[in-house]
Chain A
Amino acid sequence: MADTADTALTANVGAFDEPFHQIDFAHEGVAAGHQTSTGISNEKLGMWTFLGSECLLFGALISTYLLYKNRPGTITNVAGEVVGQVHDRISEHFDILFTSASSFVLLASSLTMVFAVVAAQRNDAPRLRLWLGTTAGLGAVFIGGQVYEFTAFVREGFGFTTNVSTSAFFTLTGFHGVHVTIGILMLLVLLALSLKGRLPFTKSESVEIIGLYWHFVDVVWIVIFTIVYLIK
């Protein structure tokens, strides 16, 4: 890991060479043409670092769900006698077609997010607002779907505490839902900033960065949809 990164930096050092010596950093006036050590902005690097850590978060949640999803229909004691009976597992009650529709919505929101980023990079404020709004809207539809799904489960008698499989299911999808919600909020903040004229072209990268988060949440859903919903 280190040596490759090193190559990247050595390549950079060339660029460091000329201008940096002469600049008197203490006295400002050095606006143009400089870069971070890697050329990546701090914010973007920060976001990717954070997403790296999120992989472990969802990894833990997904494997927790996997370990609990079939556990247990029945509780047996050492002698193998059945000593307890718990409601059946939640995975037998998924409404796959409904969830598929939600998945399509979230995928579509990723596409509109890409358009928003392109609009930001083109400095096309009206389009930017349009696509930010659409993305947030699609996200809201997804969350609406999730709320509906949860309430349907509860009506069928699958509450959070019904058995470990339901607890694990609600925890995993709940965590994902919270992430989507946070994403929606961030999109709305961007939208509001843009409407107030406080999202100048120089800051168009912030759209890209929020976009990264948004796509990540989508990617997580891709995994959840397959592993939790489709694989029995």
Chain B
Amino acid sequence: MALVTARTPLELTSGDNVQPQPLGVFARPTATTGIKGWLFSVDHKKVGILYGAASLFFFLTGGVEALLIRTQLARPGQKLLSADLYNQVFTMHGITMIFLVIMPMIAAFTNYLMPLQIGARDVAFPRLNAFSFWCFLFGALFLNSSWLLGGGPDGGWFNYAPNSGLLFSPSHGIDFYALGLIITGIASSVSAVNLIVTTINLRAPGMTWSRMPMFTWMSLVVQFLLLFSLPVITVALFLLMLDRLFGSSFFNTALGGDPMVWQHLFWIFGHPEVYILVLPVFGIVSEILPVFARKPLFGYPFMIFSGIAIGFMGFGVWAHHMFASGMGPMSVTAFSLATMFIAVPTGVKVLNWTATIYGGKLKFTTANLFSMGLIAMFTIGGLSGVTHAFAPADTQQTDTYYIVAHFHYVIFGGSLLGMFGGMYFWWPKAFGYKLREGLGKWHFWIMMIGFNLTFGPMHILGLQGMSRRIFTYSANQGFDFWNMAATIGAFIIAVSVAIFIWNVWVCYRDHRRNPVACEPDPWDARSLEWITPCPTPVHNFDTIPVVSEVDEVWHRKYGHDEAGRPVPIATRAEVVQKGDAEGVHLPSPSYWPIVLSAGLPLIGYGLIFSLAWAIPGGILVLVALFGWVMEPSTDPDAGHHDEHPSDAADGGDAAAELEGSEEAEVADQAEDAKTVELEGAPVG
């Protein structure tokens, strides 16, 4: 019964000669360059770059917060931050790094690379894609605006009750946390739907599941994790918001609530979330290592299956974060066992990478160094993870610096190192020039030293009994030395980040002075995105490639002699497309994604402060939805009315859009709830 309109998956309609057109309610944007070209663009590459830039910006914010934390803890009894301020700073540090740095950086890579790796011209719903970005950005700014409006959230990133209740956190910080994360959650959910559809539906001819590049595979798994875990945290955040703003008592034991419900809901999301942070990076590493080892990835199918296994086992281990919560011996045993099992597929990955490097002709480029650094550091983190899979051991470790060490080894040593590797690797793809290798290596080595100096000692501190989340300690506890070491390490990390920024800046400057694009396929790489020139042209592919191998681009360049050694059969210049196709039709830019997103934080302020704020927010949302539904996703004046990749007036899109208005509805509903509160008999 599928009513599929007749068009190819890869075909997009014109964006190059767009005119203001009568069908939309308002004229549509036409600029493709300058600031407007960024604000209203729906191009997946621009959206990807925007994600990346936003992520780096928040990385600096989160980094400053980290330095504040470490300075406060450098010596016993420091007075840089008060206890209250310390709580806000470490909470915002965690939230920022997880939700506003790693997640958008993953979105950046996925947005930019996934369509290129599967041979598509754009994502399935380009405007929804732009919406995801702006919604994320406004949500993130909303969250950070709490600093100016009475103080940030102060209950830690997992915000356990009762600390998250009004009794212990009377400022608005945690309201910002709840609403801000709901908004960024909407962004991620929408983008998960979009990217899943893209990967399933827009693959180039011949790009079967068993030929898909590993990065695309892992990001597909991650989009599913997001799809299924975000609704759960959304519910939890809603209940928290209702508790704090509308007088319910879901998590307030004094009135019959139960903090355990929050813990379960949070960690059902929270554990998949940690794999959301790391799996895409596993994909990145699996792309980089084969290129610089000049060998195919070892055990490609095992890598896929272990990725899927990690993803879905990740939904069955959440309560290992709750071993100390008194949930009963049965649950503890079950989740302890499940957690030990999940280390198996993770181990498969590490072994496969090692086997990929083994016997390869290694080239120690910066990207490769970061990837190999990741393998080492992540393994340490994974092993300490296994040590607290054992509940009896964990009751000693939980809530100490040992846990802090664990998750920094997996998130910093795993995700972040891999992302830096990915940036060095794909920078020429996105911008047409390489970052400097020399500076890159300084960046790498200094970061490694700083990282290990900061987080290595935390294992010791944790085992010595230093609790996490304390704003200071006293001199006779024996914590002084390693804390000072960690603080020094943190500043060394800061130096390495400065080197990275300097690297970006000088390369950008040189490129501005002498704008020649670097050679295509500069690393002699393997996967499909390198078939396009550097930087990627707006239309991605001149002609859509037909795929017949796992490492398509490699196999177009190299054949085999009898001994199985690769022999060149074509030069890179022959393989790479010219990027000069003309008249390719692309989705048209649109105002509505950014307008729609701008409404959501206003509704958030409305809920927190005064409903008056929600009115303009609601109006913006409604106007934007109306404009969106009425505006075809591509300009019909270009004469290709029926061929757009996703027509907005169509159901799926419209439905997803209207989903956005749930926000508004909810506001109304919440208002109802307030009235109810006045009339209903309140509980004393």
| Chain A interfacial positions (CB closer than 8 Å to B) | 1-2, 5-6, 9-10, 13, 16-17, 20-21, 23-28, 30-47, 49-50, 52-54, 56-57, 59-61, 64, 67-68, 71-72, 75, 84, 86-87, 121, 150, 154, 157-164, 166-168, 170-171, 174, 177-179, 181-182, 185-186, 189-190, 193, 198-199, 202-210, 213
Asked whether any CB of chain A lies closer than 8 Å to the CB of B246, the reply is yes
Interchain nearest-CB distance for B288 vs A (Å): 23
Chain B contacts for A157, CB-based, 8 A: 680-681
Q: Does A202 lie within 8 Å of B2, measured CB to CB?
A: no
Chain B contacts for A158, CB-based, 8 A: 680
Instruction: List 5 additional contacts besides A68-B250, A178-B669; criterion CB under 8 Å.
Output: A10-B208, A26-B582, A43-B651, A52-B228, A160-B248
Bound: A44/B646 CA distance, A = 11
Q: How many residues of B contact A (CB 8 A)?
A: 99
Chain A contacts for B5, CB-based, 8 A: 41, 202-203, 205
Q: Does B231 lie within 8 Å of A31, measured CB to CB?
A: no
Chain A contacts for B3, CB-based, 8 A: 41, 121, 204-205, 208
Residue among A38, A41, A68, A71 having the largest count of chain B Cβ atoms under 10 Å: A41
Chain B contacts for A213, CB-based, 8 A: 655
Interchain nearest-CB distance for B11 vs A (Å): 6
Q: Does B546 lie within 8 Å of A60, measured CB to CB?
A: no
Q: Does B235 lie within 8 Å of A31, measured CB to CB?
A: no
**Cross-interface CB contact of A71 among B10, B258, B647, cutoff 8 Å:** B258
Known: A37-B9, A64-B239. A160 touches B676 (CB 8 A): yes
Name 6 A/B residue pairs within 8 A (Cβ), A-sorted.
A54-B231, A56-B229, A56-B231, A160-B246, A160-B248, A162-B683
Q: Does A154 lie within 8 Å of B197, measured CB to CB?
A: no
Asked whether any CB of chain A lies closer than 8 Å to the CB of B144, the reply is no
Known: A42-B645, A206-B654, A213-B655. A178 touches B666 (CB 8 A): yes
Bound: A50/B196 CA distance, A = 10
Known: A40-B2, A154-B680, A171-B238. A30 touches B11 (CB 8 A): yes
Q: Does A186 lie within 8 Å of B654, measured CB to CB?
A: yes
Interface readout for B642-684 with A: 1 if CB under 8 Å, 0 if not?
1101110111111110110110011001001100110111110
Chain A contacts for B542, CB-based, 8 A: 26
Q: Does A159 lie within 8 Å of B677, measured CB to CB?
A: yes
Summarize A's interface: helix, strand, loop or mixed: helix
Known: A20-B205, A27-B583. A46 touches B656 (CB 8 A): yes
A211 and chain B: residue at smallest CB distance: B651
Number of A-B contacts (CB under 8 A): 296
Q: Does A161 lie within 8 Å of B682, measured CB to CB?
A: yes
Interchain nearest-CB distance for A131 vs B (Å): 15
Bound: A150/B681 CA distance, A = 14
Bound: A2/B640 CA distance, A = 35
Chain A contacts for B124, CB-based, 8 A: 42, 45-46
Q: Does A53 lie within 8 Å of B206, measured CB to CB?
A: no
Q: Does B305 lie within 8 Å of A57, measured CB to CB?
A: no
Q: Does A36 lie within 8 Å of B201, measured CB to CB?
A: yes
Give chain B interface residues in 174-191, CB to chain A under 8 Å. Answer: 189
Known: A37-B202, A160-B248, A213-B655. A60 touches B680 (CB 8 A): no
Asked whether any CB of chain A lies closer than 8 Å to the CB of B257, the reply is yes
Bound: A181/B651 CA distance, A = 16
Q: Does B2 lie within 8 Å of A44, measured CB to CB?
A: yes
Q: Does A49 lie within 8 Å of B227, measured CB to CB?
A: yes
Residue among B4, B305, B655 having the largest count of chain A Cβ atoms under 10 Å: B655
Bound: A26/B546 CA distance, A = 14
Asked whether any CB of chain A lies closer than 8 Å to the CB of B125, the reply is yes
A203 and chain B: residue at smallest CB distance: B650
Residue among A10, A40, A60, A71 having the largest count of chain B Cβ atoms under 10 Å: A60
Chain B contacts for A208, CB-based, 8 A: 1, 3, 651
Bound: A118/B288 CA distance, A = 51
**Cross-interface CB contact of A161 among B1, B584, B680, cutoff 8 Å:** B680
Chain B contacts for A182, CB-based, 8 A: 658-659, 661-662, 665
Chain B contacts for A2, CB-based, 8 A: 209-210, 304-305, 308
Q: Does A35 lie within 8 Å of B9, measured CB to CB?
A: yes
Asked whether any CB of chain A lies closer than 8 Å to the CB of B193, the reply is yes
Q: Does B642 lie within 8 Å of A202, measured CB to CB?
A: yes
Q: Does B544 lie within 8 Å of A209, measured CB to CB?
A: no
Q: Does A60 lie within 8 Å of B200, measured CB to CB?
A: no
Bound: A13/B209 CA distance, A = 11
Q: Does A209 lie within 8 Å of B231, measured CB to CB?
A: no
Residue among B208, B246, B543, B658 having the largest count of chain A Cβ atoms under 10 Å: B208
Q: Does A189 lie within 8 Å of B679, measured CB to CB?
A: no
Interface readout for B581-608 with A: 1 if CB under 8 Å, 0 if not?
1111100000000000000000000000
Asked whether any CB of chain A lies closer than 8 Å to the CB of B541, the reply is yes
Q: Does B4 lie within 8 Å of A36, measured CB to CB?
A: yes
Residue among B189, B308, B652 having the largest count of chain A Cβ atoms under 10 Å: B652
Chain B contacts for A25, CB-based, 8 A: 8, 10-11, 541, 543-544, 584
Bound: A36/B201 CA distance, A = 5
Known: A21-B546, A60-B236, A186-B658. A9 touches B208 (CB 8 A): yes
Q: Does B676 lie within 8 Å of A159, measured CB to CB?
A: yes
Asked whether any CB of chain A lies closer than 8 Å to the CB of B265, the reply is yes
Bound: A205/B1 CA distance, A = 10
Q: Does B2 lie within 8 Å of A24, measured CB to CB?
A: no
Chain A contacts for B200, CB-based, 8 A: 37-38, 45
Bound: A84/B253 CA distance, A = 11
Bound: A21/B583 CA distance, A = 19
Asked whether any CB of chain A lies closer than 8 Å to the CB of B629, the reply is yes
Interchain nearest-CB distance for A204 vs B (Å): 6
Bound: A186/B660 CA distance, A = 12
Bound: A2/B193 CA distance, A = 18
Q: Does B649 lie within 8 Å of A49, measured CB to CB?
A: no
Q: Does B659 lie within 8 Å of A53, measured CB to CB?
A: no
Residue among A16, A50, A168 having the largest count of chain B Cβ atoms under 10 Å: A50
Q: Does A44 lie within 8 Å of B652, measured CB to CB?
A: yes
Bound: A33/B650 CA distance, A = 20
Asked whether any CB of chain A lies closer than 8 Å to the CB of B6, the reply is yes
Chain B contacts for A205, CB-based, 8 A: 3-5, 650-651
Chain B contacts for A207, CB-based, 8 A: 651
Interchain nearest-CB distance for A226 vs B (Å): 20
Q: Does B201 lie within 8 Å of A38, measured CB to CB?
A: yes
Chain A contacts for B239, CB-based, 8 A: 64, 171
Known: A6-B210, A25-B8, A164-B248. A57 touches B234 (CB 8 A): yes
A157 and chain B: residue at smallest CB distance: B681
Bound: A68/B255 CA distance, A = 12
Asked whether any CB of chain A lies closer than 8 Å to the CB of B232, the reply is yes
Q: Does B679 lie within 8 Å of A154, measured CB to CB?
A: yes
Asked whether any CB of chain A lies closer than 8 Å to the CB of B41, the reply is no
**Cross-interface CB contact of B683 among A49, A54, A163, A193, cutoff 8 Å:** A163
Q: Does A6 lie within 8 Å of B206, measured CB to CB?
A: no
Bound: A121/B646 CA distance, A = 20
Asked whether any CB of chain A lies closer than 8 Å to the CB of B79, the reply is no
Q: Does B205 lie within 8 Å of A28, measured CB to CB?
A: no
Bound: A167/B247 CA distance, A = 9
Known: A42-B197, A159-B681, A203-B650. A34 touches B6 (CB 8 A): yes
Q: Does A206 lie within 8 Å of B544, measured CB to CB?
A: no
**Cross-interface CB contact of A209 among B230, B250, B651, B662, cutoff 8 Å:** B651
